[in-house]
Amino acid sequence: MVTAIIKEIELRKKTDFPKKIETIYFGGGTPSLLSYEELMRIFDALQHSAELATDAEITLEANPDDLTHQKLRELRQTPINRFSIGIQSFFEEDLKLMNRAHDAAEGEYSVKASQDAGFDNITIDLIYAIPGLSNDRWRKNLDSAIALEVPHISAYCMTIEEKTVFGKWEKTGKLQPTEDKIAHEHYQFLVKALSESGFEHYEVSNFGKPNRHSQHNTSYWKGLPYVGLGPSAHSFDGINKRSWNINNNAVYTREIQQNKIPAEFEILSQKDFYNEKIMTGLRTAMGIQPEEIQLRFGVNVKEQFEEEINQYQNQGWLKETANQIRLTEEGFFRADRIASDFFITEEI
């Protein structure tokens, strides 16, 4: 797989790569399983294909049980300078329900060991609205996360998808999904606890200390171009073309060996690009800039959606200024629903 990814870098570098790489994100699957040698082979290939910015943010997604002392010593010798650690919960019952490989002690240890090894730019993932998760246990989860003094926390509301194990359990009555009321209470505890601890709520699911927001994810939300490498990886040219690699490992490696990138692509229509811009914009504290939207798409958001803007302002879910429309904390909890009311259905 590593050899195939390096070959894809070679195939893409002349047409898809920027002159300078500002962020790198090792994610999807379990990239923390890669050895020092494998990671350095990928970095060498990248550095032969484009200039790596001296202050580039380079993130590795990691499972807590992978971050041993030996592993951390090796990672300190690589250009990686940021971890995204999938803690999910500090309680055994939650981790067992979600079939996580690590236990609560390993979760806490992985963060402290990473800090001791010299990594200070760490984000941890938490999940709320887990079936059976009480308000008290969620508060204690937040207290544990804050006590670790990490500069960034991502918190996601648990959703149950139809074709997953949880989906099957829900159908048979083995699992009862969390009521919306409880999920909302968890969200309110989350926002209050992290804001009081100095975190900025800069995207629906993301909280960062000042100047510690994720540069990589922010580039997605701003609609900047990115290149995805490996099976299932997505790319965007920053204009209107999105592509994605095949999600079959064997087919991916075979095609790459034949000097072909096994990817499909789509050209976004103006309507689709507008709707996406609205969705990603309203999910962030930056919101959307009506003047920019009108210049880019010819849509006067303030006029066309005056009724929706007034309605959501009256409910306390939206704020409008001279050059910005953004959601409030309560609006963030309903971001997808609100954004969809600003979508257009006819082609521009």
Counting the structural domains of the chain, the total is 2
Last residue of a domain, one of 199, 220, 241: 220
Q: Do the bridges between strand 241-245 and strand 152-157 make them parallel or antiparallel, or are there none, so unpaired?
A: unpaired
Mean pLDDT score of the chain, rounded to an integer? 95
3-state secondary structure of 33: helix
* Contact present, 146 and 194 (Cβ < 8 Å): yes
- 311 by DSSP, 3-state: which? helix
Residues 90-125 have pLDDT tens digits of 999 999 998 899 999 999 999 999 999 999 999 999
Q: How far apart are CA 47 and CA 20, in angstroms?
A: 10
Q: How many CB atoms lie within 10 A of CB 156?
A: 14
Q: What is the pLDDT of residues 49-63, one digit of tens each?
A: 999 999 999 999 999
Percentage above 70 pLDDT, the chain: 100
Is there a single domain that holds both residue 31 and residue 153? yes
Are both 78 and 208 inside the same structural domain? yes
**258 in a domain, yes or no?**
no
Decide if 14 is inside a domain. no
Same domain, yes or no: 61 and 139: yes
| 172 pLDDT higher than 90 | no
Q: Are residues 188 and 294 in the same domain?
A: no
Report if residue 242 sits inside a domain: no
Does the structure show a pLDDT above 90 at 175? no
Tell me if 11 is assigned to some domain.
no
Same domain for 296 and 205?
no
Whether the CB-CB separation of 325 and 301 falls below 8 Å is answered with yes
Last residue of a domain, one of 187, 220, 253: 220
Question: What confidence category does residue 22 fall into, taking pLDDT thresholds of 50, 70 and 90?
Answer: very high
Give CA–CA dist 177/180, Å, rounded: 9
When pLDDT is averaged across residues 298-312 and rounded to a whole number, the result is 97
Residues 323 and 211 in one domain: no
Q: Is there a domain that residue 108 lies in?
A: yes
| Residue 287's CATH number | 1.10.10
The CATH number covering residue 64 comes to 3.30.750.200
Same domain for 212 and 286, yes or no, is no
Determine the pLDDT at residue 49: 92
pLDDT for residue 184: 97
Does 3 reside within a domain?
no
Contact 321, 328 (CB under 8 A): no
* Per-residue model confidence (pLDDT) at position 164: 79
Residues 6+ apart with CB under 8 A from 1: 230, 249, 253
Question: What pLDDT score was predicted for residue 166?
Answer: 78
DSSP-derived letter for residue 268 is: P
Confidence of residue 14 (pLDDT cuts 50, 70, 90): confident
Q: 14: which 2 tokens?
A: 């002349």
Place of tokens 């049980």: 65
**Domain membership flag for residue 164:** yes
State whether 181 and 293 are in the same domain: no
Asked whether the predicted pLDDT for residue 163 surpasses 80, the reply is no
Task: Write the DSSP assignment of 78-100 as a string of letters.
Answer: SS--EEEEEEE-SSHHHHHHTT-
- What CA–CA distance (Å, rounded) separates 222 from 167? 33
Per-residue pLDDT band for 322 (boundaries 50, 70, 90) equals confident
Residue range(s) defining the domain that contains residue 301? 282-340
Helices (H) and strands (E) in the chain, counts: 16, 12
Q: Is residue 273 part of a domain?
A: no
Same domain, 40 and 185: yes
